[in-house]
Structure 1
Amino acid sequence: MLSEKQEIRTYILQNLNSYKLDDKLKHETRLYTQLFNCQLWQDASTVAVTMSMDNELNTQPIIDMAINVGKKVFIPRVSKKDLLWFDYSKNRLSKSNFGILEPNQEENLAHSLNEIDLMIVPGVAFTPDNYRVGYGAGFFDRVLSEYSKDTISLVLPPQLIDNFSRNQWDMPVKNMLT
């Protein structure tokens, strides 16, 4: 029997996979504009962001803009049950077991969470009160429970849901752009 979150993931991912490319590009552009104009972005000198998968909001334009305006960009790599944060470098990425591009740098080069000014948090589905359903491994819920600075998620229309049954470890993001 599938859990509610598994059913939500399946439903939303199917919607994202059938999302018309023109609509997706239009909504992505609008979300980028909102992000780049928001005070959180403008005040941050370091930004953490994941490398997106095909059906997700494309994060490469965010990375490119951050670099163009002089921000440091950190991207995560899964290490056991944690995320480690590394400087973004196109030349030092390889596909993980999850199919995501991740840094392949030495662990001693990882940055601490307190070095990140703004974290752009991914997810599969989002509620109006900023809770998210991720891919089910709990990586970002653990990070969000430890990270006290600004967080934001960029949410495409097919990712919005009314609600879901939450567990004690489910953590909201502080800000959402829709």
Structure 2
Amino acid sequence: MNAKINLRESIKAKLSQLSLPVYEDQSYQIAQQLYQTEEWNTATTVAITVSKAPEVDTFQIIRKGWEQGKRIVIPKCEPKSKHLDFRELKRFSELESVYYGLLEPIVNKTISVTPDRIDLVVVPGLAFSKNGYRLGFGGGYYDRFLANYQGKTVSLAFNEQIVNDIPVESHDIPVHKIILSEGVVSIGN
């Protein structure tokens, strides 16, 4: 476990060094790469988190999805069951700040969407290996969700988040692609 904690701290420290102009520029370049993928272009329903710095900025991606007529669903964490409830977001005012300042859908303003209706999940993470494994933020929510999810998965990452090795456990599931500012890393499944 300590290896994961140390890796989380080192990546957070690297990301905290990114200036706002670099952060915005890299986030924009990563978004442009995402829009060129088949996964994005064929998806009608996209699951994505609302970013919190220093994660890649997803506000622009959510807006682009709306502009393109995609259904955007945002996860609501259920702490008791440790499950994710993806809910359709039609405007940013349907969000509220909950645990750790994370923005989540307001339940009585949004509707739940079942995993089988989701074409693409943009999986968050703090660090990624070139073989698609990720180090999450420690809650295990996405590992549980991905265990039964059949659709496509991608992750967005700054170069600082790519590492040679991530401690992998039996329940860890790699994503299909990692989207970087200068290109896409496809993971052979």
1:82 — aligned with what?
Answer: 83
How far residue 107 of structure 1 moved from its aligned partner, in angstroms, is 10
CA contact (8 A) 2:128 2:134 kept: yes
SS of match in other structure, 1:15: helix
1:40-65: CA deviations, max 9, x gaps?
11100111100101211110000000
How far residue 115 of structure 1 moved from its aligned partner, in angstroms, is 0.8
RMSD: 1.6
Cα separation, 2, equivalents of 1:108 and 1:28: 27
Cα separation, 2, equivalents of 1:126 and 1:107: 34
Q: Percent identity, please.
A: 31
Q: Which moved more, 1:160-169 or 1:63-72?
A: 160-169
2:175 — aligned with what?
Answer: 173
How far residue 108 of structure 1 moved from its aligned partner, in angstroms, is 9.2
Structure 2 alignment gaps of length 5 or more: 181-189
1:111-161: CA deviations, max 9, x gaps?
110110111111000000000000111011111111111000111011111
1:50 — aligned with what?
Answer: 49
Which of 124, 127, 152 is 1:125 aligned to? Answer: 127
TM-score (norm 1): 0.94
Matches within 5 A, 1:24-173: 24-79=23-78, 80=80, 81-88=82-89, 89-106=91-108, 109-173=111-175
Letter in 2 for 1:152: V
Cα separation, 2, equivalents of 1:49 and 1:101: 12
Q: Which moved more, 1:106-115 or 1:56-65?
A: 106-115
CA contact (8 A) 2:43 2:70 kept: yes
> Structure 2 vs 1, CA of residues 107 and 66 (structure 1 numbering), >3 Å: closer, same or farther?
closer
How far residue 70 of structure 1 moved from its aligned partner, in angstroms, is 0.4
Q: Structure 1 residue runs of 4+, over 6 Å off?
A: none
Cα separation, 1, equivalents of 2:65 and 2:131: 27
Paired residues, what number? 177
Letter in 2 for 1:163: D
How far residue 163 of structure 1 moved from its aligned partner, in angstroms, is 0.5
TM-score (norm 2): 0.89
How far residue 35 of structure 1 moved from its aligned partner, in angstroms, is 0.6
Cα separation, 2, equivalents of 1:128 and 1:108: 36
1:4 — aligned with what?
Answer: 3
Cα separation, 1, equivalents of 2:167 and 2:99: 29
Cα separation, 1, equivalents of 2:128 and 2:71: 27
How far residue 174 of structure 1 moved from its aligned partner, in angstroms, is 1.2
Say whether residues 1:20 and 2:22 are aligned partners.
Answer: no
